[in-house]
């Protein structure tokens, strides 16, 4: 055994290093230990270790005395030295240039089972002097000793990487299962907003992005559902632009904005800080788009990540679509209920459809449409000799129209026996309606008083379709005198007219549900058809005449849904 103290020291150093190397499985710390040992032993201020990545690509896994930015960068080694080599002796190559530039004087290969694991590079010794043969042997020995540790470190890193990948997949699955859980949650609790917010939060956490918006396809194009980190102004610029909106709606695969061909479209997304778009599809039909900003880490999105986002989007949109359908169904139910109530109110306000008066035949009809319009008719007994008749059409449909109609009915009944003239009554009702409604609510209104004894009819027409006065000889006139429709202006003076009635005369009142009934060609029934129908069937009783008129309207508009209430009122003098 050689007792040379230097040799003894070297053996001790090798033993120490080997112990240190084997005590760690972390590649970085193995390489750091190796490099520091060598640099300390030879008093060298620069060193690095390159570790094989794939084929001829090597990564700088450790470096000392060189810029830290070198770490993790890739160096191309086309001609791997199989034994210790001085940079100066190498054939011209990228690696030679790189080593020379950074004052790396010598490189030692690290090989394990004839596989090139990496390369240790060292700069010149701080003290003058070349490497001695003993030193070079020592260098080789260390490279050999460390090979197994480096190999182990590489395997461990690979395993850790695989474990991480599998854990990441589990995390992705957790996120997906949360979305699915939402889908399966009690349907009544499923809300579009909740699903979208779940989606956006998950994406932001999963991808480390702080900009995310969800656009959903609607009949009028893409609409913004939720935006975080992307200003609403930018989002409306996207949804407001036809071309961009169309492009979103036709997206079938995830796309990175940098890959966009069209400059102006690209600019709009870039301005919003959007880096990628992911379509949300059901059976390959685009139902919405997720827009996300770049990662905070500035790393690009990988193909796997885009695929994950795509799956996440597809799953979410199923929940969103289901929630939307449920909301729609609930809304429809609420609307049906409202219509039922409106219809109920309307029915209760209208009188019976016929009135028995001596010397007269009175017949009325009201067929409410499915949506319940605001038609109204009434007869009010004022005295033994006088009856008030009224027909009106309130703007709008549903409950609001019914309530306004109730208002008119109450006012009319209250004013009917005050002894006020018909024009004064109309003026007052107009004022009441004007004061109690918004500018877009109004009422067409026709009111008349029939004096049974005098056989006279006094009327005021406030913008209603002019009723007819048919004579026995088939000629007719219309009741036009009156004034503006109710509810438009506060102070209106109405005019009235009075006609004498003769035997065989017939007053015909109707609403626009009759004159504007539509056929399949979108033509309206119009007054001339009412006139012809009455002329053709004038000989019939009021009951039958009314039935004929309704049948004629129905056959005219067959195939079309009844859009408005149909109301008519006939008074015939016997």
Partner 1 sequence: MEGFEVSQSETGGVSILCLKGYLDAHTAPDLENAIQRLVDKKTYEIVVNFTDLTYISSAGLGVFMGFIEDVRKNGGDIKLTNMKPKIYRVFDLLGFPTLYDILDEQQTAVDRFSKN
CB burial of residue 341 (10 Å; 0-12, 13-18, 19+):
middle
Task: Give the interface segment with partner 1, choosing from 116-124, 174-182, 245-253, 391-399 (CB under 8 A).
Answer: 174-182
Q: Convert residues 226-265 into a mask of x (bound to partner 1 by CB under 8 A) and - (unbound).
A: --xx------------------------------------
Shortest gap between Cβ of 50 and partner 1 (angstroms)?
Answer: 24
Task: Indicate whether 203 belongs to the interface with partner 1 (CB under 8 A).
Answer: yes
Task: Indicate whether 167 belongs to the interface with partner 1 (CB under 8 A).
Answer: yes
Shortest gap between Cβ of 568 and partner 1 (angstroms)?
Answer: 57
Tell me the C-alpha distance between 479 and 458, whole Å. Answer: 10
Quick one: 36 or 176, whose CB is closer to partner 1? 176
Q: What angle do CA 164, 169, 170 make, to 5 degrees?
A: 95
One of 164, 332, 413, 532 touching partner 1 (CB under 8 A)? 164
One of 79, 135, 191, 206 touching partner 1 (CB under 8 A)? 206
One of 113, 297, 383, 475 touching partner 1 (CB under 8 A)? 297
User: What is the token pair recorded at 50?
Assistant: 């390159």
Task: Indicate whether 201 belongs to the interface with partner 1 (CB under 8 A).
Answer: yes
Q: How many residues bind partner 1 (CB under 8 A)?
A: 25
44 secondary structure, DSSP code:
B
Quick one: 206 or 481, whose CB is closer to partner 1? 206
- B/e letters for 511-532, b = 16+ CB within 10 Å, e = fewer, are bbbbbebbeeeeeebeeebbee
User: What is the token pair recorded at 355?
Assistant: 């009135």
One of 175, 234, 366, 511 touching partner 1 (CB under 8 A)? 175
Query: CA 80, 85, 89, 94: dihedral to nearest 10 degrees?
Result: 30
Quick one: 163 or 252, whose CB is closer to partner 1? 163
Task: Indicate whether 88 belongs to the interface with partner 1 (CB under 8 A).
Answer: no
89 secondary structure, DSSP code:
G
Contact 293, 276 (CB under 8 A): no
Residues 477-536 that bind partner 1 (CB under 8 A): none
Task: Give the interface segment with partner 1, choosing from 90-98, 199-207, 355-363, 507-515 (CB under 8 A).
Answer: 199-207
One of 66, 204, 405, 422 touching partner 1 (CB under 8 A)? 204
Length of the chain: 574
Tell me the C-alpha distance between 393 and 510, whole Å. Answer: 10
Q: Convert residues 396-415 into a mask of x (bound to partner 1 by CB under 8 A) and - (unbound).
A: --------------------
3-state secondary structure of 190: coil
Shortest gap between Cβ of 195 and partner 1 (angstroms)?
Answer: 9
486 secondary structure, DSSP code:
B
Task: Give the interface segment with partner 1, choosing from 165-173, 331-339, 403-411, 504-512 (CB under 8 A).
Answer: 165-173
DSSP bridge partners of 86: 106
Shortest gap between Cβ of 569 and partner 1 (angstroms)?
Answer: 58
One of 7, 12, 94, 174 touching partner 1 (CB under 8 A)? 174
User: What is the token pair recorded at 230?
Assistant: 């992307």
Shortest gap between Cβ of 293 and partner 1 (angstroms)?
Answer: 10
358 secondary structure, DSSP code:
T
Shortest gap between Cβ of 201 and partner 1 (angstroms)?
Answer: 4
Tell me the C-alpha distance between 547 and 481, whole Å. Answer: 28
Closest CA to 416 of 463, 464, 381, 454: 381
Contact 517, 567 (CB under 8 A): no
Shortest gap between Cβ of 231 and partner 1 (angstroms)?
Answer: 13
Strands 354-357 and 285-292: unpaired
Closest CA to 141 of 87, 88, 99, 84: 84
Chain residues binding partner 1 by CB under 8 A are 164, 167-168, 171, 174-175, 178, 182, 194, 197-198, 200-206, 208-210, 228-229, 296-297
């Amino acid at each position: 055994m050689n007792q040379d103290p230097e040799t003894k020291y070297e053996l001790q150093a090798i033993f120490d290093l080997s112990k240190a190397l084997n005590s760690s499985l972390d590649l970085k710390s193995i390489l750091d230990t190796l490099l520091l040992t060598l640099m300390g032993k030879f008093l060298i201020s620069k060193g690095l270790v390159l570790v094989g990545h794939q084929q001829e690509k090597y990564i700088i896994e450790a470096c000392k005395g060189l810029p830290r930015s070198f770490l993790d960068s890739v160096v191309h080694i086309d001609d791997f030295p199989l034994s210790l080599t001085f940079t100066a002796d190498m054939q011209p190559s990228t690696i030679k240039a790189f080593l020379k530039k950074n004052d790396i004087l010598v490189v030692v290969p690290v090989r394990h089972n004839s596989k090139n694991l990496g390369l240790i590079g060292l700069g010149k010794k701080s003290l003058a002097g070349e490497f001695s043969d003993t030193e070079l042997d020592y260098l080789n020995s260390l490279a050999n000793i460390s090979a197994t540790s480096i190999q182990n470190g590489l395997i461990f890193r690979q395993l850790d990487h695989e474990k991480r990948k599998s854990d990441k997949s589990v995390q992705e699955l957790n996120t997906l299962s949360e979305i699915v859980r939402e889908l399966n949650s009690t349907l009544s609790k499923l809300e579009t907003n909740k699903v979208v917010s779940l989606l956006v939060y998950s994406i932001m956490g999963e991808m480390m992005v702080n900009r995310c918006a969800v656009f959903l396809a609607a009949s009028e194009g893409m609409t913004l559902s939720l935006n975080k980190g992307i200003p609403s102004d930018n989002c409306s610029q996207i949804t407001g632009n036809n071309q961009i909106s169309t492009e979103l709606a036709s997206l079938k695969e995830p796309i990175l904005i940098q890959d966009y061909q069209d400059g102006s479209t690209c600019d709009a997304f870039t301005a919003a800080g959007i880096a990628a778009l992911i379509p949300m599809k059901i059976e390959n039909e685009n139902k919405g788009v997720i827009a996300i900003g770049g990662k905070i880490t500035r790393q690009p999105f990988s193909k796997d990540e885009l695929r994950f986002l795509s799956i996440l989007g597809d799953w979410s949109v199923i929940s969103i679509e289901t929630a939307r359908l449920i909301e729609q169904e609930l809304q429809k139910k609420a609307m049906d209920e409202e219509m039922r109530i409106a219809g109920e109110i309307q029915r209760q306000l209208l009188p019976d459809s016929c009135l028995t008066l001596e010397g007269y035949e009175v017949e009325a009809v009201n067929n409410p449409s499915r949506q319940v319009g605001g038609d109204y008719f009434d007869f009010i007994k004022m005295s033994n000799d006088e009856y008030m008749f009224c027909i009106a059409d309130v703007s709008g449909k549903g409950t609001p129209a019914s309530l306004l109609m109730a208002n008119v009915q109450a006012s009319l009944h209250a004013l009917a026996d005050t002894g006020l003239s018909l024009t004064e009554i109309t003026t007052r009702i107009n004022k009441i309606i004007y004061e109690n409604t918004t500018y877009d609510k109004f009422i067409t209104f026709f009111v008349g008083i029939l004096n049974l004894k005098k056989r006279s009819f006094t009327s005021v027409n406030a913008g209603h379709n002019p009723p007819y006065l048919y004579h026995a000889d088939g000629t007719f006139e219309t009741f036009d005198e009156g004034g503006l429709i109710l509810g438009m202006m506060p102070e209106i003076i109405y005019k009235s007219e009075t006609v004498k009635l003769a035997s065989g005369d017939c007053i015909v009142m109707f609403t626009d549900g009759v004159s504007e009934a539509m056929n399949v060609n979108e033509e309206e029934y119009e007054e001339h058809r009412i006139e012809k129908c009455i002329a053709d069937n004038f000989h019939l009783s009021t009951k039958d005449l009314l039935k004929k008129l309704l049948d004629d309207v129905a056959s005219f508009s067959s195939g079309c849904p009844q859009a408005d209430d149909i109301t008519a009122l006939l008074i015939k003098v016997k």
